[in-house]
A and B are shown apart, each in its own frame.
Chain A
Amino acid sequence: KAGVTQTPRYLIKTRGQQVTLSCSPISGHRSVSWYQQTPGQGLQFLFEYFSETQRNKGNFPGRFSGRQFSNSRSEMNVSTLELGDSALYLCASSILAGGADTQYFGPGTRLTVL
């Protein structure tokens, strides 16, 4: 069974631009969660989608948004990029919603904002 895939793996953008990241979960998984990982703050929860509905949202500004499609694939969008948005963005999929179910992480998208 294929794992979680994320595209692109690397991105370089400039301040003020917007970016869209994509995540394809493991087949049969209906929950997709997104995390931001930085050296200073570690892994921080962005949001979780389950069956196309946002179930949970972390403490990030409205510039961060996401969505999930009927095939469970998910995208996250960051508008008006800031230097501090440079990070590794990870998505994780699971069969059930919530954190207790085993989450399988993708390799991440490394975003650099110049």
Chain B
Amino acid sequence: TQLLEQSPQFLSIQEGENLTVYCNSSSVFSSLQWYRQEPGEGPVLLVTVVTGGEVKKLKRLTFQFGDARKDSSLHITAAQPGDTGLYLCAGESSNSGYALNFGKGTSLLVTP
């Protein structure tokens, strides 16, 4: 059972466009993390959000945690080819013994 649903599954855009990736669940998470994974490498942590309604910015990336701590979004402004990769959200909750549950990811391709 996939606790976290990510959408869209695939996204192909031109350099300079904006995009939003969504991560939804019916479960409440005590924290939620976003990772980016490039081919042949392991995921790299981008951000951790812990408070409902929290917004964090990392350069052109904006992360938001839903008020009910069940969903999150990642918005990228003016995407660049270097943003290409697999974006994964992962939630931690007491239901899973505090193990990380990952979504299947959003594969982003940014073309020049």
Kindly state the interface size class of chain B when it binds its partner: 20 to 34
User: A42, B102: Cβ atoms under 8 Å?
Assistant: yes
Q: Of B2, B41, B100, which one neighbours A99 at CB under 8 angstroms?
A: B100
Against B, the Cβ 8 Å flags (1 = close, 0 = not) of A36-55 are 00000111110010000001
- In the assembled complex, how far is the CB of residue A57 from the closest CB belonging to chain B, in whole angstroms? 8
| B25 is an interface residue with CB less than 8 A from chain A | no
User: B100, A33: Cβ atoms under 8 Å?
Assistant: yes
Chain A interfacial positions (CB closer than 8 Å to B): 4, 33, 35, 41-45, 48, 55-56, 58, 90, 92, 97-100, 102-108
A44 to B100, CA, bound (A): 9
User: B104, A108: Cβ atoms under 8 Å?
Assistant: no
User: B105, A48: Cβ atoms under 8 Å?
Assistant: no
Given contacts A42-B105, A99-B90, A105-B43, 10 further A-B contacts (CB under 8 A): A4-B42, A42-B88, A43-B102, A45-B101, A90-B43, A99-B92, A99-B96, A100-B98, A103-B100, A107-B42
A100 cross-chain contacts in B, Cβ below 8 A: 30-31, 48, 50, 92, 98
User: A56, B99: Cβ atoms under 8 Å?
Assistant: yes
